[in-house]
Amino acid sequence: MHSAHMAGPQLRYLAVVNDRILACLGFRSAALKLAARDQWIGWTPEERTAHLSQVVGNRRFLVLPWMQVQSLASSFLAGVARRLPADWARRYGEHPVLLETFVEYDRYAGTAYAAANWHRIGRSTGHGRLSAPKASAKPLRDIWMYPLQPNFRAILTNGRRTEPVPPTASRPPQQAARKKKGAP
């Protein structure tokens, strides 16, 4: 059974017009370990431990399916990204510098994130932090990041890094592999 409850620090936002909810966003603490993110930032394990609280994860995003408002999703994302740092700092005393999210690439293209200037940095491995070693893998997800500060890498690496670390190895996209097998 899956629970919709988010534990730990969290903020939730609603897009409302004329008392009608159009969309909602939920944020909480970042993933504890995420190889693609940690490499993209250039984190050492010690830096990740020291600065993980400055990364906030977008864990829920829903635009109600009957809402047909052009650019609603990307506009809502952009507006919340401007507001969230002050709200998070006021509530939790920590100043976030980076947002992260996951998009199931088999189901969604991440178009709203791309339109709101988020960066696709890689793909998850399909194993969550609570997965048992022999448990079946979760769906693969694209990893998207949104810097809240232009110097976020310097902040998160104690001034050591300002440019992204290039990936060490590139895996072919799963969609291309499926097409080779004859899947739709």
pLDDT in tens, 93-138: 999 999 999 988 888 888 889 999 999 998 887 766 555 555 556 7
- pLDDT-derived band at 56 (thresholds 50, 70, 90) equals very high
Count of C-beta atoms within a 10 Å radius of residue 129: 8
Domain boundary assignment for the chain: 10-180
Residue 166's pLDDT is what? 67
pLDDT at 104: 86
More reliable by pLDDT, 176 or 59: 59
d(CA 15, CA 125): 32
Specify the DSSP class assigned to residue 93: S
Specify the higher pLDDT residue, 67 or 99: 99
pLDDT at position 176:
38
Q: Which fold has domain 10-180?
A: Aminopeptidase (3.40.630)
Q: Is the confidence at residue 37, as pLDDT, over 90?
A: yes
Model pTM score: 0.80
pLDDT at 94: 93
- Provide the mean pLDDT of the chain: 82
C-alpha distances out from residue 124 to 23, 87, 105, 142, Å: 26, 28, 10, 6
Q: How confident is the model at residue 4 (pLDDT cuts 50, 70, 90)?
A: low
Closest CA to 56 of 167, 161, 156: 156
How far apart, in whole angstroms, are the C-alpha atoms of residue 8 and residue 91?
A: 12
